[in-house]
Amino acid sequence: MDRLPPDTRRDFLRAGSLSLFGLGLPTLLKAAEPTATPPKKRAKACILLFMWGGPAQQDTWDMKPDAADVYRGEFKPIQTTVPGLQICEHLPQLAKRAHDLCLIRSMTHTDVNHLTATHHLLTGKPAPAGPIADDWPNYGSVLAKLGHGRGQLPPYVSMMPVVPNGAPRFVEQSHGQGAGWLGPVYNPMRIDTDASSPDYRVGEFALSEDTPADRVLGRERLLQAFDRPGPMTKYQPELEAMGAHYRRAFSLLSAPQVTKAFDLSRESQKTRERYGMNRHGQSVLQARRLVEAGVPLVTVFWPNDGITNVSVYWDTHNRNFVDLKTRLCPVTDQATSALLDDLKSRDMLDETLVVWTGEMGRTPKVGQAVEGGAGAGKDGRDHWGKVFTTVLAGGGVAGGAVYGASDRFAAEPTANPTTPSDLAATIYHLLGVDPRTELRDRLNRPLTLCEGQVISGILK
């Protein structure tokens, strides 16, 4: 790998001014004394848009137009609504809404493995060695344990559309998506259904036409008969979790007004088309409906594109510029800008935190290979965790802001290096959870929920 020339220039720091449910093992949480000033107005919910695969930061949010071609790539920067702030030409709608965005251009860690780097971004903790059941709990699982949410809707939903005959869904193997050692009861409700399909329906929440209501009632009573505590219950937490999930499913079936949140047909065709009639766009719209109905956290994973012969997701080892231009940037530009507009028009943006991130970035140099990565073709970029960009909006975050900076090659942070733990602490803080909350594991050992520092510089 070529040695990158050193650069000490600092950019500006601020511009302008389940299956249905899963299974695991339970433990206990204990709230510690608060260590940070509570936000002026707590966000009620978070929509986490996870760009699985690792977006190339220098080809999206942190462009380097003065670098040599082999570093800066093929795209041109465009001006945004924030004086002095430029982003990629293929994100024009988000450029018009940059005054609502906060770009953290100095995210950094050392992991170039998709499966474990995902854990770091979704929990604020490096992935432990071992099975997924030993993971640290996801943000949504922690919120569920702490009693966030209201009514009968699940407190944590994960949108992960299945693509028939698509490329391998590595995201299913990634750590940090569920409750880990916190326990199976707090795993997310996972929606695998393609929300853009004409017959989209979250099947577990809708009775088939030939299933009468009295049959459902009979099944619920049968469950109750088997649901009484028995001698094996304390040894099988999975059974306890399964019972809890079945009870929730029956509760939802008996409350059709609640399941309206899953019915995209209630949205106008104009609204649906504004988000984009594709898997990602309709999943983002579904996320908005869920948080509006009271779900505290929804994660929307970038879907498998069903392409088997080229890079999938945002993992652009080949065709980096072709795929960013044609299938990645336009879809995220449309869906994310629609989400911002929709939340704002409903007076929800101030109380909804939007997080756009991947688990890593891409190499500074086109065609560059790194140790532990997967290589890169002449038109691709390999894995790179040393610096990448996360974008926040709403929920108490200052808009029109850039926090941190990278060098002129997008290789290293040059100001305010920010770890996934710092991001996690900030997310928890904005949602009204003390990052220093104490958790106890299965051996009753006290563990701190998050050891990162709240990024006070980006808060309103």
What's the whole-number mean pLDDT along residues 400-422? 98
Cα 181 to Cα 135, 142, 159, 244, 441: the distances in Å are: 6, 11, 22, 17, 7
Q: Indicate whether 6 pLDDT > 70.
A: no
What's the whole-number mean pLDDT along residues 426-453? 92
- Read off the pTM: 0.85
Are residues 326 and 83 in contact, defined by beta-carbon separation less than 8 angstroms?
Answer: no
Residue 247 vs residue 55, higher pLDDT: 55
Residue 169 vs residue 97, higher pLDDT: 97
| pLDDT (0 to 100) of residue 2 | 42
Q: Indicate whether 242 pLDDT > 70.
A: no
Instruction: Write out the E strands in 278-360.
Output: 297-301, 352-357
What's the whole-number mean pLDDT along residues 61-71? 98
| pLDDT (0 to 100) of residue 356 | 98
- Is residue 460 very low, low, confident or very high in pLDDT (cuts 50, 70, 90)? very high
Domains in the chain with CATH codes: 28-458 (3.40.720)
Q: Indicate whether 291 pLDDT > 50.
A: yes
- Is residue 254 very low, low, confident or very high in pLDDT (cuts 50, 70, 90)? low
Q: What tokens appear for 109 in the block?
A: 């860690």
Residue 399 vs residue 8, higher pLDDT: 399
Q: Indicate whether 235 pLDDT > 50.
A: no
In the chain, % of residues over pLDDT 90 = 66
| Alpha carbons 314 and 190: distance in angstroms, whole number | 21
Are residues 204 and 20 in contact, defined by beta-carbon separation less than 8 angstroms?
Answer: yes
Q: β-strands 45-50, 297-301: how paired?
A: parallel
Task: For residue 66, count other CB atoms closer than 10 A to its CB.
Answer: 9
Q: Indicate whether 178 pLDDT > 60.
A: yes
Are residues 359 and 54 in contact, defined by beta-carbon separation less than 8 angstroms?
Answer: yes
| Alpha carbons 201 and 409: distance in angstroms, whole number | 46
